[in-house]
Structure 1
Amino acid sequence: MKEDLKPMYFGESLLLFGIPGIILYCNIYYGVPYLDSLGVPLIISFPLALYGLLFLLFIASLIAYKLEGNPSTLAGLTKRFRLTKLNKKMGFISIGTFIVVMIMEELLKFTSGILAKMSVFAPPDILPEFIDPNQTLSFPLTAFMGVSLEGNWWILLVWLLCLACNILGEEFWWRGYILPRQELAFGKKAWLVHGALLLLVFHAFLKWNYIVLIPICFILPYMAQRYQNTWIPAIIHGIGNGLFFAFIIPGIF
């Protein structure tokens, strides 16, 4: 494996967070409404706009890995992206951290509705129910992104694909490829730079959630840097998104 990683300073960091952030913002605020005007269902337009981009980040991480001169081996990828095996202690730490993040987000959730009423933080008119601050999720859901859930088991496959794109894209690109290089530039404060850019730049498409997202955006890079392991944020991230199956499955069956 190529060991001489290049430090990633603020300018390059801003670029690599900013380009996907701008594209994603345009996708959600302009692309989805435009596709809706053409009659494209939300269950097609929204996953393409969000999870399609995250899949491209996953591909970009693999390309960046090769451009560094790393070997085309699983062992090389595992080492470079810090996907080393977790022990039981780290597994429990991951679960415990997820619980802390979930509690903090619940305590801050009220701020989303407040920010959403301000024009500068207002969400677009068309959003799926699970991120729309103007909708309250009911359990179980009866519809998902405009499609009735009853009997439509294929929606589970759609969400599973979305979840895979989310975790692979964000963890490989942010914590696998970018964070180790930021650590060479910013040292122990790398997670702070990483978290600030992740929150303010990449998640601008969820700007009404800026306060709610503070815990997850800073804790994930902190844990990845603290333990030098990308599996920890991947587990925290995966549990949070995976729990949404609990809202979907009862409505289908």
Structure 2
Amino acid sequence: MGKAGGSFQLFHLIIFQSLRHNPCHVPPFFTDNRIHPLSELGTNSARARSRLALKNLLVPPKLYTLNNSVPVPTDAEVLDVPTEGISDSPTTLPKGFLPDGGYKTLSLRGLYLSAPYLHDGGVAIKAGSLKVKPDGSFTVTDPSGLGLAGTLSVGQSADSASSLRALLDRELRDRVVAANQANPALKRDNLDGTGHHFYVDRAAGFTPAQQTDLINFLLALDDDPGQI
């Protein structure tokens, strides 16, 4: 990497590491691989709560030794999979699920192709719905493209950069959530894009340019994040 590339990477890493939610998205995988409770995330509870029913179906996890052939012989050695640090016992849900449910931290790698965002996929904006100015500030030019109601529900893809901006900007997120909640089908299915209130906007002390820089940094994270 040349000098210019190194400066670019350092600049964006400094921005990223200044964010409050960085402990959940630590490099190099940009996830702590932990389940966080709903009380911490504030996201829609429907999917998290639905997983609580699994607690009555759990059995101790087992694993065949890796030296077995396929099909696995009837006398193959079976190992107990350790759950220490993950759950209180081999037949209880992972920590973070109880008592009200939770969600696992998603990796930030590959965000350029994984829109819409959040665990319910509710943070979505159609391409062309925002006009971003040179200083990083933006205006909504097409309100009909906000939320799932203006994207996947009508066969339109969610734009990664615009959807990330809705994830990071509280005022834009409020408009996305309002668009989702105004749609009866989305409301019935608990697809609203609420929660995860870790914002990078003016109210949090960041400039529009810094918000845009962070979005560009996040979009650049792929399977080789060291070569940004």
User: Which of 1 and 2 has greater Rg?
Assistant: 2
> Would you tell me which structure has more strand in proportion to its own residues?
2
Q: Relative contact order (C-alpha < 8 Å, sep 6+): which is higher?
A: 1
> Would you tell me which structure has more helix in proportion to its own residues?
1
